[in-house]
């Protein structure tokens, strides 16, 4: 039976630093709702229904080269490349272009840390989110949305 190791340290509420045998990761969010996990494997989101035992986990971004199967596929494809001339496909072009999702995830995480940091230091009024949402709703009504 293989040996397992896992340790989690809470940095501040909603942010945990996780250590395991395979590496470290950072989890953002509370258990029982929505959690982002940033690790060397990629960015994984987990959505949970509290008390029901139902959850959904998926990767927003998955780093390449983590799976042994992908390494085997690369070896096979390199052997096949020697036999056939290389052909450009739409997939190969798509892999080279960058996705805007990385920027959105970065902005979301930065705003998350900024908000909770300011809240922890007492720099935000107690009804900041309510006021922000009501202002956005008023702007949307003025525009006609």
Q: 57 lies in a domain?
A: yes
Q: Which helix H or strand E contains 32, and what residues bound it?
A: none
For residue 82, tell me if it sits in a domain.
no
CA distances to 9, 56, 85, 111, 130 from 20, rounded to whole Å, are: 12, 22, 43, 28, 39
Task: Return the pLDDT at 80.
Answer: 53
Domain that includes residue 10, residue range: 1-64
pLDDT tens across 16-32, in order?
Answer: 888 888 888 888 887 76
Whole-number pLDDT of residue 35: 83
8-state DSSP, 99: P
Q: Are residues 2 and 58 in the same domain?
A: yes
- Residue 6 falls within a domain, yes or no? yes
How many structural domains are present in the chain? 2
Asked if residue 55 and residue 104 are part of one domain, the reply reads no
Q: What is the pTM of this model?
A: 0.43
pLDDT at 30: 79
Spatial distance between the Cα atoms of 91 and 89, rounded to a whole number of angstroms: 5
Looking at residue 138, its pLDDT comes to 92
């Amino acid at each position: 039976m293989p040996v397992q190791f896992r340790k989690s340290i809470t940095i501040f509420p909603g942010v945990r630093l996780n250590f395991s045998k395979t590496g470290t990761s950072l989890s953002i969010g509370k258990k029982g709702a929505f959690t982002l996990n940033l690790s060397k494997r990629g960015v994984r989101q987990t959505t949970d229904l509290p008390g029901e035992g139902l959850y959904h986990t998926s990767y927003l971004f998955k780093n390449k080269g983590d799976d042994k199967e992908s390494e085997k596929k690369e070896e096979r494809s390199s052997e096949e490349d020697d036999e056939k001339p290389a052909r450009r496909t739409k997939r190969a072009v798509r892999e080279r272009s960058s996705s805007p999702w990385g920027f959105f995830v970065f902005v979301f995480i930065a705003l998350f840390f900024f908000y909770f940091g300011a809240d922890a230091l007492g720099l935000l009024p107690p009804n900041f989110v309510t006021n922000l949402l009501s202002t956005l709703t008023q702007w949307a009504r003025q525009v006609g949305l």
